[in-house]
Amino acid sequence: MNKKRALPPDRLAECQAAHELFLKKKGPLKLSQKKLAEMAGMSAPAVNLYFKGLNPLNAKFAAILAKALQVDVADFSPRLAQEIGEMSAAMRSNLEDPAGPQETTSAADLVSQMLAKHGKNLSDEARQRIADAVIETAETKLVAGEVITTDITNPGLVGDEMHIAHYDVRAAMGGGQIASDYAEILRDVKVSETHLRELGVTYDDPHHLKIVTGWGQSMEPTIKHRDPLIVDASVREFTGDGIYLFSWQGLLYIKRLEIADSEHFEMISDNPLHKDKPIRRDETYIQARVLLVWNARRV
């Protein structure tokens, strides 16, 4: 099992301050950690990793948390409040520029354009924070200074082609791994929808398809180490025996799940060298169902 390096004291203090505010205001606002997770588009365990100080807060989650708690980001993270303010000010400057973009585009594109045109007015540290935020918050749009959550997986289909977002969650097929954030986008993969259908991949909405990478040997020979997998992220509960991406006790796994009894799943490894084990259903948070293993074999 991989152990994460402890956060610096200032980042840990931000997590603690955010958690204390959440505990203070969740009652009056009738807010639960699960509801907050839904607002942020992530799992409850992923939110817990922020509150426990295992993952540092980022601009996207800070903005959503502040809105949910009806507070300012500065109340728990002056650092992120400044970062969001710099991004918003630069974005407004870019949008108000007569030579700026006339059509709606992604936040990543707008921020990249802004850096190219207005970066000379920002410090090196601010430029780096903004560039990092493009990666961390690729699923948000910055419009007139407001952070608005949106669906990054809605690029639209072009003919038979569709884009599937590739996420670095590096789900373990062995002892489990801690997710750095719920998901960090690496790149999009362009595939043929017809070909997927011919392979027997069934889904309701192509925008819910993602690509994740397996890590470990416990699911061999079905899934080999570092095999890309197409998953359906709309599946958030058990829908029958199959291979799922799920978190259990704060770690991510790709394993077969079957019903063991009314309170337990059987977590099954295809590799006979790895033992199966029962896990509590109420401690298992399903993130997606695996639809296809994208194997590439040398010949």
Per-residue pLDDT tens listing for the chain (299 residues): 445 678 888 899 999 999 999 999 999 999 999 999 988 888 888 898 999 999 899 888 998 999 999 998 999 999 888 887 776 665 555 445 544 444 434 444 555 555 555 455 555 555 555 555 444 443 333 333 333 232 323 343 445 677 787 765 555 555 555 444 444 434 567 788 888 888 888 888 888 888 888 888 899 999 988 888 899 989 999 999 999 999 888 788 899 999 999 999 999 999 999 999 999 999 999 989 999 998 766 66
How many structural domains does the chain have? 3
Range of the domain at 31: 9-76
288 and 173 inside one domain: yes
167 and 241 inside one domain: yes
70 and 20 inside one domain: yes
Token pair for residue 121? 């007015």
Would you call 230 helix, strand, or coil by DSSP? strand
| Assigned domain for 156 exists | no
256 and 198 inside one domain: yes
Residue 250 near residue 45, CB atoms below 8 Å: yes
142 and 180 inside one domain: no
Long-range contacts of 2-10 (CB under 8 A, 24+ apart): 2/177, 2/178, 4/54, 4/178, 7/53, 7/54, 7/55, 7/56, 10/79
62 and 178 inside one domain: no
Question: 0.85 cut: is pTM over it?
Answer: no
137 and 94 inside one domain: yes
Would you call 110 helix, strand, or coil by DSSP? helix
217 and 281 inside one domain: yes
- CATH number, residue 218: 2.10.109.10
- CATH number, residue 35: 1.10.260.40
Neighbours of 10 (CB within 10 A): 10
191 and 138 inside one domain: no
64 and 92 inside one domain: no
83 and 183 inside one domain: no
Cα 7 to chain center, whole Å? 20
Neighbours of 11 (CB within 10 A): 16
Cis peptide before 221 (omega within 30 of 0): yes
Token pair for residue 211? 């690509």
